[in-house]
């Protein structure tokens, strides 16, 4: 709490070029229509704009995000500790979770008037409530978890991917309860879990149904409303993934028949920033290139993947590594020592280091006997890590731009998974050592 209070007292609000598509601005020049819609008539899903609409200014919005984040991380620390038998393991796990929640790559988003803070905090809260329910099988964490998970799924259109294991876990519980022939109390728990699965499925269908309309509506809130969503994505991909990489550029021209353009080449050489609108105007000055881009608006990336799979995979893995580096947009105090934060969010070789950390934590969990002594905690960590890595790769493939921002939820989820696996390993090792001590049954 001392650390979180220091953050709220010293943090500075950050707004981006797309903040006005999440929160109303007191300026008619930024008003391009309603920001809250449950049918896709707004540029973003309703989860974040509806929350922001409860506050009158960005400062109070940041405090609201900070309060939710503080509650979520504290609840996660308690929920993980509930699974652990030994005091030293509980202290270590809670300290690691609290430390992660105080890093700038986590805490800074509470002061960014964007979607990332809520998508992180609600995801953490959903995990915490799931673990609480998994341990107690009580009704209140199940109901609260489903409500929070539905809200979480509407902070970003891709959040239902991260929420998928939650539904799988509930289905597995229902199946186990039915197969075991539990008494009436067990049947009621199974019925509650089944109802939760139904609600999550309906929410996923709702998100999927309004997604395309929301994406098209979002065009009015972009820097250049004349660019369609498809053409805007094409410009980002060409600017960031093709013209910035000489090997990829040569392959596109030789294998995919992309025409050259002197104006684009000049723009890329002279501008260090992305300047997507200027890049699009340069493309328009070359009729052959403009015609080629129009002909491949919907199939360019699939052709790239099938025609040059090795090059495509190399670029995807590079962008995946960039996504896993973490990012801090708002200015908040650095409460975690810099070497520790760099260790948690490595900027050098992020993908190999992340895979190595996951592999080591899983090995320690298996070696310590967590599969037998802490199976639920270990499986939760494995499922989180696998889902987060799959989600970040999918995000890199279907989008383009600030990948370190788009993948921040997955980046943090992987770190939480590592902590959970290490906590299960430590607790299992202590349990095994205690059981094997003299005078104790082994």
Q: How sure is the predictor about 274, in pLDDT bands with cuts at 50, 70 and 90? A: confident
pLDDT of 224 higher than 80: no
Q: How sure is the predictor about 437, in pLDDT bands with cuts at 50, 70 and 90? A: low
The whole-number average pLDDT for the span 279-289 is 90
SS3 label, residue 158: coil
Lowest mean pLDDT among 92-101, 102-111, 343-352, 428-437: 428-437
Nearest to 110, CA basis, from 150, 51, 160: 51
Q: How sure is the predictor about 103, in pLDDT bands with cuts at 50, 70 and 90? A: very high
* Phi, psi (deg, nearest 5) at residue 331: -90, 110
Nearest to 324, CA basis, from 351, 343, 356: 351
Are 102 and 335 in contact by the 8 Å Cβ rule? The answer is yes
Place of tokens 């896709």: 40
Reported as a single tens digit per residue, the pLDDT across 56-89 is 999 999 999 999 999 999 999 999 999 999 999 9
The whole-number average pLDDT for the span 236-253 is 91
Reported as a single tens digit per residue, the pLDDT across 14-70 is 998 889 999 988 777 778 888 999 999 999 999 999 999 999 999 999 999 999 999
CA neighbours within 13 Å on the CB side: how many for 336?
22
Percentage of residues of the chain with pLDDT beyond 90: 63
pLDDT of 390 higher than 90: yes
Q: How sure is the predictor about 169, in pLDDT bands with cuts at 50, 70 and 90? A: confident
Q: Tell me, what's the pLDDT at 424?
A: 96
Place of tokens 């650390």: 3
Q: Tell me, what's the pLDDT at 28?
A: 79
The whole-number average pLDDT for the span 201-222 is 88
Q: How sure is the predictor about 191, in pLDDT bands with cuts at 50, 70 and 90? A: confident
Q: Rounded to an integer, what distance in angstroms lies between the CA atom of residue 320 and that of residue 390?
A: 10
The whole-number average pLDDT for the span 222-248 is 84
Supply the DSSP string of 254-312, one letter for each residue: HHS-PPP-HHHHHHHHH--S--HHHHHHHHHT-HHHHHHHHHTTTTHHHHHHHHSHHHH
Q: How sure is the predictor about 442, in pLDDT bands with cuts at 50, 70 and 90? A: very low
SS3 label, residue 112: strand
H or E stretch covering 186? helix 184-218
Are 294 and 235 in contact by the 8 Å Cβ rule? The answer is no
The whole-number average pLDDT for the span 276-293 is 90
Nearest to 229, CA basis, from 214, 215, 242: 215
Place of tokens 């300047």: 275
Q: Tell me, what's the pLDDT at 38?
A: 95
Q: Tell me, what's the pLDDT at 166?
A: 85
Q: Tell me, what's the pLDDT at 223?
A: 66
How high is the mean pLDDT of the chain? 90
Query: Residue 134 is encoded by which pair of tokens?
Result: 């998994």
Q: Rounded to an integer, what distance in angstroms lies between the CA atom of residue 396 and that of residue 36?
A: 27
CA neighbours within 13 Å on the CB side: how many for 153?
27
Percentage of residues of the chain with pLDDT beyond 70: 95
* Phi, psi (deg, nearest 5) at residue 212: -60, -40
SS3 label, residue 184: helix
| Domain extents in the chain | 2-221+325-433, 229-296
Q: Rounded to an integer, what distance in angstroms lies between the CA atom of residue 147 and that of residue 122?
A: 10
Helices 184-218, 159-180: inter-axial angle, 10-degree rounding: 160
323-to-33, 285, 406, 414 alpha-carbon distances in Å? 32, 33, 7, 12
Place of tokens 């989860």: 47
Q: How sure is the predictor about 140, in pLDDT bands with cuts at 50, 70 and 90? A: very high
Question: What is the chain's alpha carbon radius of gyration, rounded to the nearest angstrom?
Answer: 24
Q: Rounded to an integer, what distance in angstroms lies between the CA atom of residue 380 and that of residue 370?
A: 12
356-to-32, 192, 350, 351, 390 alpha-carbon distances in Å? 47, 39, 10, 9, 16
Are 238 and 279 in contact by the 8 Å Cβ rule? The answer is yes
User: Which residues make Cβ contacts (< 8 Å) with residue 314, sequence separation at least 6?
Assistant: none
Global pTM value? 0.91
The whole-number average pLDDT for the span 219-223 is 76
pLDDT of 438 higher than 70: no
């Amino acid at each position: 709490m001392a650390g979180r209070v220091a953050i709220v007292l010293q943090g500075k609000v950050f707004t981006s070029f797309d903040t006005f598509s999440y929160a109303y601005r007191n300026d008619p020049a930024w008003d391009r229509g309603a920001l809250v819609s449950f049918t896709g008539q707004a540029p973003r899903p309703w989860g974040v704009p509806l929350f922001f609409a409860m506050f009158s200014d960005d400062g109070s919005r940041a405090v609201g995000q900070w309060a939710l984040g503080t509650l979520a991380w504290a609840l996660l620390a308690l929920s993980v500790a509930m699974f652990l038998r030994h005091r030293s393991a509980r202290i270590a796990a809670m300290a690691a979770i609290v430390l992660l929640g105080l890093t700038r790559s986590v805490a800074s988003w509470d002061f960014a008037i964007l979607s990332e803070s809520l998508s992180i905090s609600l995801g953490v809260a959903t995990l915490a409530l799931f673990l609480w329910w998994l341990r107690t099988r009580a009704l209140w964490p199940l109901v609260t978890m489903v409500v929070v998970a539905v809200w979480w799924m509407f902070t970003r259109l891709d959040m239902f991917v991260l929420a998928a294991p939650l539904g799988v876990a509930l289905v597995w519980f229902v199946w186990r309860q039915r197969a075991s022939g539990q008494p009436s109390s067990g049947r009621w728990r199974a019925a509650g879990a089944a109802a939760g699965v139904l609600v999550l499925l309906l929410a996923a269908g709702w998100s999927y149904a309004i997604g395309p309309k929301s994406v098209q509506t979002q065009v009015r809130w972009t820097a250049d409303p004349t660019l369609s969503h498809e053409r805007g994505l094409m410009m980002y991909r060409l600017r960031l993934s093709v013209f910035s990489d000489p090997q990829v550029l040569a392959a596109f021209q030789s294998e995919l028949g992309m025409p050259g353009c002197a104006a684009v080449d000049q723009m890329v050489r002279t501008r260090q920033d992305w300047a997507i609108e200027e890049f699009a105007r340069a493309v328009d000055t070359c009729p052959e290139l403009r015609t080629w881009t129009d002909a491949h608006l919907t199939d360019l990336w699939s052709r790239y993947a099938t025609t040059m799979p090795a090059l495509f995979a190399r670029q995807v893995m590079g962008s995946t590594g960039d996504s896993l580096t973490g990012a801090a947009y708002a200015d908040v105090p650095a409460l975690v020592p810099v070497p520790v934060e760099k260790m948690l969010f490595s900027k050098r070789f992020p993908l190999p280091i992340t895979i190595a950390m996951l592999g080591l934590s899983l090995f320690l969990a298996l070696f310590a006997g967590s599969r037998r002594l802490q199976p639920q905690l270990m499986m939760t960590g494995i499922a989180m890590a696998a889902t987060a890595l799959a989600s970040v790769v999918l995000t890199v493939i279907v989008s383009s731009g600030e990948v370190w921002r788009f993948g921040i939820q997955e980046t943090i989820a992987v770190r939480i998974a590592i902590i959970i696996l290490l906590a299960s390993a430590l607790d299992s090792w202590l349990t095994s050592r205690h059981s094997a001590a003299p005078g104790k049954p082994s």
